[in-house]
Each structure stands twice: as C-alpha cells, then as structure tokens.
Amino acid sequence: MKLLHRNFLFLFLILAPVVASSQQPDTVVINNNIQLIHLKDSFFVHITSDYVEGFGMVSSNGLLVIRNGNALMIDTPMDEAKTTELLDFLRDSMHTEVTLFIPGHWHNDCIGGLEELHRHNVFSIANEMTRAECIKRNLEVPKASFSKSIQWSFCGIPLECFYPGAGHSLDNIVVYFPEQKILFGGCLIKSAESTSIGNIADADVQAWPKTLKKVQKKYPNAEIIIPGHGSVGSFEIIEHTKRIVLLTSTLSF
C-alpha cells in the first residue's frame, strides 16, 4: 500500500502541470479523452469521453481497484483504442497490470474494450445474463459468469457483485466494496446532475424503481456511489434516479 501511495504521489507531481487549475488535485489527465480520479485508498474512477449518436459527447465512468501491482477493472472505455491507452498508462506510469475485469452490463460503454483485455490475458467474469447477451449478439464473451450474486476478495479487498433486477438493461449489476463503502452502480444509477433517463432502448422502465429499492435495502451503508455517467455521488442519487425513472414512466402513458 505504501508503494501504491508513493507511486501515485510521484505520478501526480509529474502530471500536475497538465492538470487544469479548475480540476480537483486528485484528477490525473491521461489525455483529452481519458482521466483518472482518485477516490480513496486504492480506488480510482476512470472517465473516458466519446461521441455518441443522438447524445453528443458523453463521458463514461468505470472503476479501478489497484493492489500490489494488480488492478481490478469494472467497465472498459467504449472502444479498444482508449482501453489500450488506459492499459498502457497503468503499466508504464503506475506499474500496474489489469488482471480481473467485471462488466456492469453488455453495452459498449461496459465491454467495448473487452477483446483488448482478453488479448492481455485478463480474466473476466460477468452476470450470466450479460454473458448470454454477448453470445447472442456476437460480441466478445466474458470468460466466466455468476448467477444473482457472488462474493469474494480481490487481493484481500472484499467485494460483492449483485444482480438486483432489470433497469437500464435487463442484465445490469452493481458491485459493492463493504470496507470502503463504495458502490459501483453503473448505468442503473443516474448522477445528481442528470435530468434525463438517457438511453432506454434496452431498459425495463417499469421494473427499474423496484430494482433501485432492492439496491437501497441491500446496501444502506454505501457512502460513495459511482453512476455510469456523470459525477460520483452519495446515497441520495439512488432516490434521484428513482424520481427520474418514475417521471419517465408516468409520461409514457
């Protein structure tokens, strides 16, 4: 852990001149389209920007948990090129290799770089519904799967993957780290600044509020919540998401 903190401090001192003064001091700019934000301990949000038809420029969030030169990645950037850039930065500047990957669901803002991860011999595990969707749609397929939930530890850091039900997609999961009280909600959860439900092409809007209630009930101690897009928030953004979804559901009738 001391080595990680030393590496991060050294990394930040090198990159400080390219970090805009308006940004937080724990933000590392890799390039114009990729950033890392240090949350706490060895947890980093990776943020990538892409042009999405119908939505314009969109920033997408993923999570990195780094320990002893190994990294767990939750969600990749949308494409292989940015995934490669992120992997190269982790290797060259943070002396870290991604060894485990978990996707939040089957969309490309979660698995767009999965093929690149597999070329680097990264082990991937997903909700069995996500794996089935990848097979059905002829996408790169995660190597292993779980049903409903799975608990284990990554380099001594406990975590739980949990499928609470349909929402943004039929297969979306959340990942919780109980010691850090960090919940990766992915696209199931909207950021505080979000006013729109976003892409619902594969959503179940009617089931979404019930799914959110399951997350609230299961992880009431979560303090840091990472949505799929937008700013990291607190427990309140789950309720915020519920209001957006319920409004969308009401207007659809």
Q: What is the mean pLDDT of each run of 10 residues along the chain (253 residues)?
A: 45 38 68 95 95 85 97 97 98 97 98 98 98 98 97 97 98 98 98 94 97 98 98 97 89 48
Give me 34's structure tokens.
């990729």
Domain CATH number, residue 140: 3.60.15.10
Is residue 168 part of the annotated active site? The answer reads: yes
| Residue 107 falls in the annotated catalytic set | yes
Q: What are phi and psi of 12, to 5 degrees?
A: -65, -40
What local confidence, expressed as pLDDT, does residue 74 receive? 98
Annotation marks residue 199 as catalytic: yes
The parent domain of residue 100 ranges over 2-9+17-251
118: annotated active-site residue: no
Examine the residue annotation and report whether 105 is marked as an active-site residue of this protein.
yes
Given the residues 38, 105, 240, 242, select the one marked as catalytic.
Answer: 105
Of the residues 38, 46, 107, 240, which is catalytic? 107
Residue 229 a catalytic site member: yes
Tell me 233's DSSP state.
B
Q: What span, in angstroms and rounded, lies between the C-alpha atoms of 60 and 186? A: 9
Helices (H), ranges, 16-122? 80-94, 108-111, 114-119
Is 109 assigned a catalytic role?
A: yes
Number of domains in the chain: 1
Question: How many whole angstroms separate alpha carbon 157 and alpha carbon 80?
Answer: 28
